[in-house]
Amino acid sequence: MEQVKAKTIVTRTKNDWWFGTNYGMNIYRGCSFGCIYCDSRSNCYRVEDFGRVRVKGEALRIIRDDLRRKKNKGVIHTGAMSDPYTPAEKSLKVMRHALELINAYRFGVAIATKNTLVTRDIDVLQDISKRAPVTVSLTITTADDDLAKKIEPYSPSSSERFAALKELADAGLFCGVLMMPILPFINDTEENVLQIVRLASEAGAKYVYGHMGLTLREGQREFFYDHLDQNFPGLKEKYMTNYGNKYQADSPHSRRLYNVFQDECKRLGLLYKMEDITAEYQKDGFWAQQLSLF
């Protein structure tokens, strides 16, 4: 696999509201899952040929040095820019070894992925969770495998992701679903939202975090519209009429869908607010252990 140069990999995050994370980590550049809505394709991120996956050269040495220099322990988020479990990870195992370093230096981790390969690393995640917060989120936007094939063409099927979620939950890990994005006029139905929440609950998820819309930026918007023409003829014009060049493209039913979503989460005992999810998975983390020393 082609390598790209990097000076640092584990960096301070500005989005500490996102699962209460303190640092971000992206081992790979680009993603091969081909999701038609991916915000990481946006020109502002300056990732050329986003569908071509590259690994950061000497990633493990850099991650080790980054962690060793951190004065403050914290939770490291990965999966924001590119999936940490890209198919090449199966043989490269860079993410697995990065988790081993995170464990050795006693940091926590919050993973977001679409790949069932994450279950390979259950043993390392269990070990990390003995001393620090751990959560794993499977992104699932539709319960319909056929629809998922259109909007996330090279990802594992939704049913496979629900099965992976169950495996993580059965292993005692704090895990849940990122139900986002919900695409206007495609998967923004009550039936889809309710089915995702119910299947997540059946799999043993602790939470479902959802957003009833998507973002559209320069670079990403054009890619998205091209694929709408291929898979949903006539829908591009509907988007252009309703959203023009707006950054935020919320479902016209977003309020009703969110009400249905939160009511079902409450009924099934699932967390759905980010602050509640963060508080729950971090409550027994290293902060609690450190405080207990006093």
Which pLDDT band, with edges at 50, 70 and 90, does 66 fall under? very high
Is 60 exceeded by the pLDDT of residue 200?
A: yes
pLDDT at 285: 64
Convert the pLDDT of each residue in 105-132 to its tens digit.
999 999 999 999 999 999 999 999 999 9
pLDDT at 15: 73
Cα(125)–Cα(257) distance, rounded to whole angstroms? 34
Convert the pLDDT of each residue in 79-96 to its tens digit.
988 999 999 999 999 999
Cα(223)–Cα(252) distance, rounded to whole angstroms? 22
Convert the pLDDT of each residue in 232-254 to its tens digit.
999 999 999 999 889 999 999 99
Between strands 23-25 and 10-12, the pairing is antiparallel
Q: Give backbone dihedrals phi and psi of 29, rounded to 5 degrees, phi first.
A: -120, 130
Q: Give backbone dihedrals phi and psi of 98, rounded to 5 degrees, phi first.
A: -65, -40
Among residues of the chain, what percentage have pLDDT more than 90?
A: 88
pLDDT at 291: 40
Is 90 exceeded by the pLDDT of residue 14?
A: no
Is 90 exceeded by the pLDDT of residue 97?
A: yes
Q: What's the whole-number mean pLDDT along residues 176-189?
A: 97
pLDDT at 288: 46
Residue 128, both tokens: 């990390």
Cα(224)–Cα(150) distance, rounded to whole angstroms? 12
Q: What's the whole-number mean pLDDT along residues 214-234?
A: 94
pLDDT at 289: 47
CA nearest neighbour of 288 among 129, 113, 165: 129
Among residues of the chain, what percentage have pLDDT more than 70?
A: 97
CA nearest neighbour of 53 among 39, 34, 78: 34
- Taken in order of first residue, the domains within the chain and their CATH numbers are 3-284 (3.20.20.70)
pLDDT at 294: 34
pLDDT at 49: 87
Most confident of 42-51, 175-184, 242-251, 281-290: 175-184
Which pLDDT band, with edges at 50, 70 and 90, does 290 fall under? very low
Which pLDDT band, with edges at 50, 70 and 90, does 286 fall under? low
Q: Which residue has the tokens 């550049």?
A: 29
pTM for this entry: 0.94
210 exposure class (CB count in 10 Å sphere: 0-12, 13-18, 19+): buried
Q: What's the whole-number mean pLDDT along residues 267-278?
A: 98
